[in-house]
C-alpha cells in the first residue's frame, strides 16, 4: 500500500490548520455562511437534516487496519457508534458537531486520512477497481494511477473551483467494477497491440437528473501522457462548462451539447498546446508503483483441503464461499467480499465494532489490506483459502457474513429521507423491505445476479438509473411514491434503465420487485441474468405482470 | 476603495494603486486606467497613443485569447471573479503567463477572498483587490499556507515529486 511520506503528511497538516482557522472565523462571524459553505464542503462537511455530516475520503477505496480502527474510534467518539460507506467508497459520519470537525480532521490526519475535496465543485475522491492487485484480470495496477491522480487533484491551483463536482474512476479489467461510464472521466487501462500501456478515456458520464453514459473521447491514450490529457479535459470544462444553472453544470452537459466528437477535438487541441509539461515524470510513477509492489504470497496448492472440508461440513459456509469468494490471481488465495447488506440493515452501514472486526481480520489473515467497493461493501483482497473458514466464522459472529454478493438483497441505496435534506422519499426502508422478501437465501441464489439501486430523489445518489432494477423515490402530494426502471447497468455493459410504468406507492414496491423477479424466472433462457432477459424481452411482460396486480 | 495588494519580490505588500478602474458608463479620467475589453477594442488605441498605461478587465466568460495580440502593450490584465466560486479566471491567468508569456500585472478583482490567495499566486496572479479586508500579512499567511504543492503551475514552485529525489 502507498504510505504517506513527510510531504504528504505536511499537506494534510497544513490543510487541517487552514480549516481550523476557517471554522474559527465562521464561529466568530468573520465569514458568512455563504462564504463558509464552499470551504466546509471542500473539507467534507455537509449540513444535513439533523446535524453536520462529515464525508471522509477513502482514496480508491483502499484502507489499512490502523485507518479502519481510527474510523471506528471516530464513529464511537463523535458519532453514534457507526459509519456509512458510500457509493464513492467514502465513509460518512452523520451526526457531527461543527466545533468537533477540526479535531476529527486531526485524528484522520494522524493515520494519513482526510476529507479533502469529498464535496464541493472540485475533483472528488478517485475510485478504482476494488480487486486491484488481487485479480488476474487486471491489465495494470489501477492504484498506481489512482494515487497519482489523488496527488495531482489535491488542492489543484487551477481546478478547485469548477462549474460542478468532478469524479474520476480507474478501471483495470474488461470487467468494470468501478462504474467507469457513469463518471465525469472514466479511465480504462488497456494495452495496445505492441504492449504499450494506456487508457481508454471516457468523458461525460453521470447520473443525477439527466443520466448520461460516458462516450469514449479517446480510444487509446499512452499512459505516460495521462496528466497532460486530464489537464486538457479539465481546462476545456473549467472554461466552457455552464455556470448559470447548477443542474446543467456537469461536464456531461457540455459533452452532450458539443457532441463527443467536437468535445474531443477541443480537448485534443488544448492537449497539443499543453505539450508534455504537465505529465508526471516516470521516476515519480515508479516511486508510487513501488509502494504497491505485490506482497509476498506463499506458494500454495490450488485446492485447499481445509477449505473443501469446511464447505462439505457447513452449508452456510459453502453458500458464503459460492457467493462472496472471488478468484485470486495466486493459487491458494481468494478475494473475500464482506457484505454490508445484511437483511434488515441499512446498506453500507457498519458499526464501530464491525469495523474493528474487519480490521483484525485484515491484520491476521489479509495482509493488512481492506477495500471499499462502490457497491457499498468491503473486501479483503488477499485471504488464503486455508483461512477462509476462520474469516467467515469471525464475520458471521459480527453479523457480516451475509452471502448475498451481487444478489437481489445486495442493494445500493442512498441515505434517503431518513437523513438527507434533499430526499423526497425513504430509500433505506425500501431496501430493507425488498431484502426481507428475499430472505430465503436459496431463492435469492436461484435468481442470481440482480442489481437493485434506490435513490430517494432525482439527484440519484443511489444510482437508480443504472440498476438492473432502479427505484426512484418521488413526492406525490406529500406521499412517497416510487418510479421503477428496468435494464440499466453501471458495468461494462452500461446503460440507463427504462421506465416500467406509473409510480407505485411505498407499500407496493417490494411486492412489485417480487413480481418482476417471478417474470424473470418464468422468461429466462439458459444462464441469462435478469438484465439479459430484460434486454431480450423488453419491458412488456414485466409491465403487464406488475400492473395486472393492481386491478 | 478595496485594499490593493501586490507581490513585491514574491511577497504580498500593501501598495498604492496607480490605476483607475473605469466602468463602461463613465468618462475616462486622466492618468492610467483599467477598462473593459469592449472599450479597449474601441478606445484602447487612442489611450495608448496618449502615452498612458492601459489595463484591461476581462469578465470571467471572456477569453484571454481575445487579447493575445495586444498583450505586449497592456500593463494590467484584471481578471474578474463575479463570485469567489467562479474559477474561470484561474485558467485565464495560467494561459496569460504560460501560453502568452505575459509579463505585465495579472490582477484579481471582484469577489476576492484570502481563501483563494494560494491558488491565485500559483496560477500567476501578482496583484489583488481583496474584498474581505485582508491585510498584506493575512494574504501572506494564506499564500504560504501549504509548504508543498503537488502540481506544476505558473509560479515555478518546486513540486512535491521533485523534492522526493525520485
B99-136 per-position pLDDT tens digit: 999 999 999 999 999 999 999 999 999 999 999 889 99
pLDDT-derived band at A50, boundaries 50, 70, 90: confident
- pLDDT for the residue numbered B166: 43
Residue of A nearest to B119 (CA): A157
Distance of CA A68 to the CA centre of its chain: 17
d(CA B32, CA A118): 45
d(CA A352, CA A451): 27
Residue of A nearest to B81 (CA): A161
- pLDDT for the residue numbered A551: 52
- What value does the mean pLDDT take over residues A499-525? 96
Across all residues in chain A, what is the average pLDDT? Answer: 95
Summarize pLDDT for A400-444 with one digit per residue, the tens.
Answer: 999 999 999 999 998 898 888 889 999 999 999 999 999 899 999
d(CA A12, CA A20): 12
- pLDDT for the residue numbered A549: 59
Lowest mean pLDDT among A43-52, A58-67, A485-494: A43-52
- What value does the mean pLDDT take over residues B128-150? 94
- What value does the mean pLDDT take over residues A512-527? 97
pLDDT-derived band at B90, boundaries 50, 70, 90: very high
Q: Which residues contact A472 (CB under 8 A, 6 or more apart)?
A: A454, A455, A457, A458, A460, A464, A482, A483, A484, A485
Domains in chain A (CATH in brackets) are 6-109 (3.90.480.20), 134-290 (3.30.413.10), 305-397 (3.90.480.20), 412-546 (3.30.413.10)
CB contact under 8 A, B147 and A158: no
Enter the pTM of the model.
Answer: 0.95
Q: Choose among B91, B161, B164: nearest Cβ to A238.
A: B91
Between strands A412-413 and A378-384, the pairing is unpaired
Of A458, A489, A460, nearest to A475 by C-alpha is A458
* Other CB atoms within 10 Å distance of the CB of residue A442: 9
- pLDDT for the residue numbered A109: 94
* Other CB atoms within 10 Å distance of the CB of residue A3: 9
Does pLDDT of A369 surpass 80? Answer: yes
Chain A residues whose CB is inside 8 A of the B161 CB are: 280-281, 283-284, 287
ipTM field: 0.97
Does pLDDT of B85 surpass 60? Answer: yes
Does pLDDT of A550 surpass 70? Answer: no
Across all residues in chain B, what is the average pLDDT? Answer: 95
- What value does the mean pLDDT take over residues A38-44? 94
CA of A215 to nearest chain B CA: how many angstroms apart? 25
Q: Which residues contact A111 (CB under 8 A, 6 or more apart)?
A: A66, A67, A70
Q: Within 13 Å and on the Cβ side, how many CA atoms surround A171?
A: 22
Q: Which residues contact A259 (CB under 8 A, 6 or more apart)?
A: none
Q: Give the DSSP per-residue string, A314-374.
A: -HHHHHHHHHHEEE-SSTTEEEEEE-S--TTSPTTEEEHHHHHHHHHHHHHHSTT-EEE-T
Tell me the CA distances in angstroms from B60 to A21, A122, A240, A319, one per residue in order: 29, 18, 11, 59
Cα radius of gyration rounded to whole Å, chain B: 16
Looking at residue A433, what DSSP letter applies?
Answer: H
- pLDDT for the residue numbered A11: 96
In A88-215, at which residue ranges do the beta strands (DSSP E only) sit?
A: 91-96, 127-128, 168-171, 185-191, 197-203
Residue with more model confidence, B164 or A543 = A543
Q: Choose among A14, A243, A284: nearest Cβ to B161.
A: A284
Q: Does B147 touch chain A (CB under 8 A)?
A: yes
CB contact under 8 A, A158 and B150: no
Domains in chain B (CATH in brackets) are 5-163 (3.20.20.70)
Does pLDDT of A27 surpass 90? Answer: no
Does pLDDT of A268 surpass 90? Answer: yes
Does pLDDT of B163 surpass 80? Answer: no
Segment 144-203 of chain A within 8 Å of chain B by CB: 151-152, 154-162
In A437-540, at which residue ranges do the beta strands (DSSP E only) sit?
A: 452-455, 469-476, 479-486, 498-499, 504-505
- What value does the mean pLDDT take over residues A167-194? 96
CA of A158 to nearest chain B CA: how many angstroms apart? 5
d(CA A264, CA A548): 47
Summarize pLDDT for A278-325 with one digit per residue, the tens.
Answer: 999 999 999 999 999 888 899 999 999 999 999 999 999 999 999 999
d(CA A204, CA A258): 11
Segment 26-85 of chain A within 8 Å of chain B by CB: 35, 38-39
Amino acid at each position: 500500500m502507498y504510505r504517506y511520506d513527510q510531504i504528504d503528511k505536511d499537506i494534510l497538516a497544513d490543510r487541517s490548520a487552514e480549516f481550523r482557522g476557517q471554522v474559527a472565523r465562521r464561529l466568530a462571524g468573520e465569514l458568512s455562511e455563504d462564504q463558509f459553505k464552499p470551504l466546509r464542503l471542500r473539507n467534507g462537511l455537509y449540513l444535513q437534516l439533523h446535524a453536520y455530516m462529515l464525508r471522509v475520503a477513502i482514496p480508491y477505496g483502499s484502507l489499512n487496519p490502523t485507518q479502519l480502527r481510527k474510523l471506528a474510534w471516530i464513529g464511537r467518539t463523535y458519532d453514534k457508534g457507526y459509519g456509512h460507506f458510500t457509493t464513492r467508497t467514502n465513509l460518512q459520519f452523520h451526526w457531527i458537531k461543527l466545533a468537533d470537525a477540526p479535531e476529527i480532521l486531526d485524528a484522520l490526519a494522524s493515520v494519513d486520512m482526510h476529507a479533502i475535496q469529498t464535496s464541493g465543485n472540485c475533483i472528488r475522491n478517485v475510485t478504482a477497481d476494488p480487486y486491484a492487485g488481487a485479480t488476474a484480470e487486471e491489465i495494470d495496477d489501477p492504484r498506481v494511477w489512482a494515487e497519482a491522480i489523488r496527488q495531482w487533484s489535491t488542492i489543484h491551483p487551477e481546478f478547485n473551483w469548477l462549474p460542478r463536482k468532478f469524479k474520476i474512476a480507474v478501471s483495470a479489467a474488461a470487467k468494470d467494477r468501478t462504474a467507469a461510464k457513469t463518471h465525469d472521466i472514466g479511465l480504462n487501462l488497456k494495452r495496445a497491440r505492441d504492449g504499450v500501456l494506456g487508457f481508454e478515456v471516457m468523458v461525460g458520464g453521470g447520473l443525477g437528473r439527466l443520466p448520461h453514459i460516458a462516450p469514449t473521447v479517446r480510444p487509446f491514450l499512452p499512459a505516460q501522457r495521462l496528466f497532460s490529457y486530464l489537464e486538457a479535459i479539465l481546462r476545456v470544462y473549467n472554461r466552457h462548462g455552464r455556470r448559470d444553472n447548477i443542474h446543467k453544470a456537469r461536464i456531461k452537459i457540455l459533452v452532450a451539447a458539443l457532441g463527443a466528437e467536437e468535445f474531443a477535438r477541443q480537448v485534443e487541441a488544448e492537449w497539443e498546446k499543453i505539450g508534455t509539461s504537465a505529465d508526471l515524470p516516470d521516476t515519480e510513477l515508479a516511486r508510487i508503483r513501488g509502494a504497491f509492489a505485490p506482497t509476498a504470497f506463499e506458494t500454495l496448492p490450488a485446492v485447499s483441503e481445509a477449505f473443501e472440508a469446511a464447505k462439505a461440513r457447513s452449508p452456510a459456509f459453502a453458500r458464503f464461499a459460492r457467493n462472496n469468494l472471488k478468484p485470486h490471481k495466486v493459487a491458494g488465495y481468494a478475494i473475500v467480499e464482506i457484505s454490508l447488506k445484511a437483511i434488515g440493515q441499512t446498506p453500507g452501514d457498519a458499526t464501530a465494532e464491525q469495523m474493528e472486526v474487519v480490521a483484525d481480520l485484515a491484520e491476521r489473515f489479509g495482509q493488512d489490506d481492506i477495500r471499499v467497493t462502490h457497491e457499498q461493501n468491503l473486501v479483503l483482497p488477499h485471504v488464503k483459502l486455508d483461512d477462509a473458514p476462520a474469516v467467515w466464522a469471525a464475520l458471521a459472529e459480527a453479523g457480516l457474513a451475509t452471502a448475498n454478493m451481487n444478489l437481489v438483497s445486495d442493494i445500493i441505496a442512498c441515505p434517503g429521507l431518513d437523513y438527507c435534506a434533499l430526499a423526497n422519499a425513504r430509500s433505506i426502508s425500501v431496501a430493507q423491505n425488498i431484502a426481507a422478501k428475499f430472505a430465503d437465501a436459496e431463492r435469492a441464489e436461484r435468481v442470481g445476479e440482480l442489481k437493485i439501486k434506490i435513490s430517494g430523489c432525482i439527484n440519484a445518489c443511489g444510482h437508480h438509473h443504472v440498476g438492473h432494477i432502479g427505484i426512484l423515490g418521488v413526492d406525490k402530494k406529500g406521499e412517497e411514491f416510487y418510479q421503477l426502471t428496468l435494464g440499466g447497468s453501471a458495468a461494462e455493459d452500461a446503460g440507463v434503465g427504462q421506465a416500467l410504468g406509473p409510480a407505485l406507492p411505498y407499500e407496493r414496491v417490494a411486492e412489485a420487485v417480487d413480481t418482476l423477479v417471478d417474470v424473470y424466472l418464468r422468461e429466462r433462457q439458459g444462464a441469462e441474468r435478469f438484465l439479459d432477459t430484460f434486454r431480450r424481452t423488453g419491458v412488456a411482460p414485466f409491465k403487464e405482470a406488475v400492473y395486472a396486480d393492481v386491478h | 476603495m478595496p485594499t490593493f495588494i501586490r507581490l513585491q519580490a514574491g511577497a504580498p505588500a500593501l501598495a498604492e494603486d496607480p490605476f483607475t478602474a473605469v466602468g463602461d458608463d463613465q468618462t475616462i479620467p486622466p492618468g492610467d486606467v483599467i477598462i473593459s475589453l469592449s472599450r479597449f477594442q474601441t478606445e484602447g488605441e487612442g489611450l495608448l497613443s496618449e502615452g498612458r498605461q492601459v489595463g484591461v478587465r476581462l469578465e470571467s466568460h471572456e477569453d484571454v485569447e481575445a487579447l493575445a495580440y495586444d498583450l505586449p502593450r497592456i500593463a494590467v490584465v484584471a481578471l474578474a471573479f463575479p463570485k469567489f466560486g467562479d474559477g474561470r479566471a484561474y485558467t485565464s491567468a495560467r494561459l496569460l503567463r504560460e501560453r502568452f508569456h505575459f509579463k505585465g500585472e495579472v490582477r484579481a478583482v471582484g469577489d476576492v477572498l484570502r481563501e483563494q490567495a494560494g491558488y491565485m499566486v500559483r496560477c500567476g496572479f501578482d496583484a489583488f483587490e481583496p474584498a474581505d479586508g485582508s491585510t498584506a500579512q493575512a494574504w501572506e499567511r494564506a499564500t504560504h499556507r501549504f509548504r508543498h504543492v503537488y502540481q506544476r503551475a505558473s509560479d515555478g514552485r518546486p513540486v512535491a515529486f521533485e523534492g522526493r529525489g525520485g
